[in-house]
Structure 1
Amino acid sequence: MKPTTRGTLAAAVTGIAAAVAAVGAAAVPAAAAGTVPVPVPLDGVEKSLGMEAPKLGMELPLLTPGAPDGPRYVEGRLLPDRALPQLPISGGLPGLGLRAPLPHVLGDDFDHVGVDAPAGDLRTLAPGLSVEAPLTAPDPKNFGLPGLQLPRAGVLAPVVQTVAGGDLGAGPGR
């Protein structure tokens, strides 16, 4: 292989490696933050209508399932507690950012209105199930045989925890 070909090939491989590293580095902050930014391009509307269009952007959450809290063995029961464990899922509420022109309704100093609702943390637990068998644990007083009891079932309620916030404002500028 000629030295010129080798140099061209090395430059091409270096450029491709740099591009892949840049794409990978750009994807890491979005995944680390738990949300993916989604810009809404309205430049075409602004140019075609000849007027200022709203600026709009959103954030979509990435849901991450956690490890379920496994069944717990309780002394005196045949079946474990939480036969169907609850699955924790964490993520976020979608975020929204909007800035729109306002035709001086509130005075000369207020020509834009903005809404900012950042993505908020969200923690959930799926419903679970706890079941008790119609037989008790082996009883030494009854020659090691289990006794009878009424079967029971309980549903573990789902849990949703979050704090949502937002900001509405009006002011000058773009």
Structure 2
Amino acid sequence: MKSTTRGTLAAVITCVAAAVATPAVAADAVPVVVPLGGAEHALDMEMPRVGGTVPLLRPGSPDGPRYIEGRLLPERALPQLPVTTGLPELDARAPLPRVLGDTFDHLSATTPDTTVRALTPGASLDAPLTAPRPEMLGLPAAKLPEVGLLAPVLQAAPGADLDVAPGL
């Protein structure tokens, strides 16, 4: 195989791989289904149906450091990083036999799509020196160092639905 043919083939494969991978990267969650169809046919009975999604993390852009007059270091030396994701979704349906009769009801449990917002911890510190002072001929004075931790933040509103009804 000629080198030009190999180069063309490599370029085509690269373009196809990029086209296939782009939708997966753009998705917010990956669907997951538990395959129980084979067990249903092998055991000749109705099996539960279980599925859901696994969310992907979406990091945001952090707030940059803020410079304040009178401080040698910026206010947020280690900025907080915002992260947005969702809680895993669940959709489970299982047969529930009736005590009186031959028919089945079904029990279903679902969790809706819930957004989770979080901020990672951050830090703010200041050097043990003041800004240059004119009365000290432009030299800084000594002071106690300052260290502050920015607490992480987590915000979500999870929920779930449990239902018993006829049919699947």
Segments of structure 1 that go 5 or more residues without pairing to the other structure are 1-19
Aligned CA-pair RMSD:
2.4
Q: Deviations over 1:27-81 (max 9, x none)?
A: 74x7656111111111011111111000000110011111111111011000101
**Contact 1:56 1:97 (8 Å CA) reproduced:** yes
1:159 matched to 2:153? The reply is: yes
Segments of structure 2 that go 5 or more residues without pairing to the other structure are 1-15
1:48 matched to 2:64? The reply is: no
Runs of 4+, deviation exceeding 4 Å: 30-33, 105-110
Where does residue 29 of structure 2 map in the other structure? 35
Where does residue 68 of structure 2 map in the other structure? 74
Q: Structure 1: how far apart are the matches of 2:62 and 2:147?
A: 20
Aligned residues: 151
Describe the shift of the 1:106–1:158 C-alpha distance in structure 2 as closer, same or farther (beyond 3 A): farther
Q: Structure 2: how far apart are the matches of 1:41 and 1:116?
A: 18
**Contact 1:92 1:121 (8 Å CA) reproduced:** yes
Task: For 1:1-174, list aligned pairs within 5 A.
Answer: 28=23, 34-105=28-99, 111-174=105-168
Describe the shift of the 1:106–1:162 C-alpha distance in structure 2 as closer, same or farther (beyond 3 A): farther
Q: Structure 2: how far apart are the matches of 1:163 and 1:106?
A: 39
Q: Structure 2: how far apart are the matches of 1:107 and 1:31?
A: 49
Q: Structure 2: how far apart are the matches of 1:118 and 1:133?
A: 48
Q: Once the two structures are aligned, what percentage of the paired residues are identical?
A: 57
Q: Structure 1: how far apart are the matches of 2:80 and 2:149?
A: 10
1:110 Cα deviation from its structure 2 partner: 6.6
Q: Structure 2: how far apart are the matches of 1:73 and 1:156?
A: 17
TM-score (norm 2): 0.81
**Contact 2:68 2:75 (8 Å CA) reproduced:** yes
**Contact 1:61 1:119 (8 Å CA) reproduced:** no
Q: Structure 2: how far apart are the matches of 1:163 and 1:109?
A: 37
Describe the shift of the 1:70–1:105 C-alpha distance in structure 2 as closer, same or farther (beyond 3 A): farther
Q: Deviations over 1:141-174 (max 9, x none)?
A: 2221111111111110011111111110000012
**Contact 1:35 1:119 (8 Å CA) reproduced:** no
